[in-house]
Amino acid sequence: MAKMHVISGVGDKLDMPVIHKISLADLGGVLRRGAADFWAKPSHYVLLMLIYPIIGIVLTVWMNGWHAWTLLYPLVGGFALVGPIAALPLYEVSRRLEMGENPSWRDAMSVLKSPAIGSILAVGAMLFVLFTLWLTSAQALYETLFGASPPRTLDALLAQILTEPAGMTLLAIGTGLGALFALVVLCTTVIAFPLMLDRDVGAYVAVETSFRAVISNPVPLLGWGVIVGASIFLGSIPLFVGLAVVLPILGHATWHLYRKLVEPVSLIRDA
């Protein structure tokens, strides 16, 4: 029964949320609301998200020591793949702000006690599998084009990419491959985690609802994917430090995107 709850949520039948149509203009609105949530309590969220710059710097040092610079670009792109689950505390804070509460750091971390934590972990495990496949694919592509001996410095890698004929091939195919992984994550999880946190619908319904949201709103949600990818890339440039602001705003904005896309339960019951 516990396994069924993880997959299908609570209740005797699947709760299939109603999807709304949105426009590109709505994306600006959810970003503004995400920024407003961030500035409402920035001290909590900067502390929460500093783990990303710290991890980024550690990874940079690790790559310098182990000559794994070929994974730098895939690792930066990988933040977009695993970001949805890392933003769970931010969804919770936005949810509480929406209800007129004054959430604290402890409230943000209460997601770990959510009834839907099993479903959340199940979808999170899927994201980490995709992240691992992305890194493996990126490394295999590099070795196919340049061989198994990695460059010893970042400058050597950049020279290799910019001066050797296979460099542009690596950039083109690698970017396309990364975009494919990002598209899979977008289609399966764009609103999955906020939905599970809000309604405990189970992993299957959360993923299926995200997919229906993308099918119903292909242009706005593909635009959202571009915004997320570009923001994470720009936030990663100064030693990942910009992610301490970029990721909280995107996390809060994702909650408001979920609210735009999914019919609230109260409206469904009233009808």
**Could you state, in order of their start, the residue ranges of all structural domains in the chain?**
24-270
CA 37 – CA 45 distance, rounded (Å): 10
Question: Per-residue confidence at 49, pLDDT binned at 50, 70, 90?
Answer: low
- 3-state class of 267 per DSSP? helix
What 53-58 contacts at long range (C-beta under 8 Å, 24+ apart), as own/partner pairs, is 53/239, 53/240, 53/241, 53/243, 53/244, 55/240, 56/236, 56/239, 56/240, 56/243, 57/239, 57/240
The strand pairing partners of 76, in sequence order, are none
Whether residue 119 is predicted with pLDDT greater than 70 in this model: the reply is: yes
The whole-model pTM stands at 0.83
- How confident is the model at residue 224, as a pLDDT? 95
pLDDT tens-digit series, residues 246-262 = 888 999 999 999 999 99
Task: Calculate the CA dihedral of residues 212, 28, 253, 15 and round it to 10 degrees.
Answer: -20
More confident of the two residues 99 and 235: 99
For 23, residues 6+ apart whose C-beta sits below 8 A from its C-beta are: 220
C-beta neighbour count of 21 within 10 angstroms: 11
Q: What is the DSSP string of 194-223?
A: HHHHHH---HHHHHHHHHHHHHHSHHHHHH
CA 166 – CA 161 distance, rounded (Å): 7
- How confident is the model at residue 256, as a pLDDT? 96
Q: In this structure, are residues 211 and 195 in contact, taking their beta carbons and an 8 Å threshold?
A: no
- How confident is the model at residue 233, as a pLDDT? 81
Give me the amino acid identity at 197: L
For 182, residues 6+ apart whose C-beta sits below 8 A from its C-beta are: 77, 80, 81, 225, 229
CA 181 – CA 175 distance, rounded (Å): 10
- How confident is the model at residue 268, as a pLDDT? 46
- How confident is the model at residue 162, as a pLDDT? 84
pLDDT tens-digit series, residues 57-103 = 666 655 555 556 777 777 777 767 777 887 888 898 999 999 888 88
For tokens 């709760």, the residue is 15
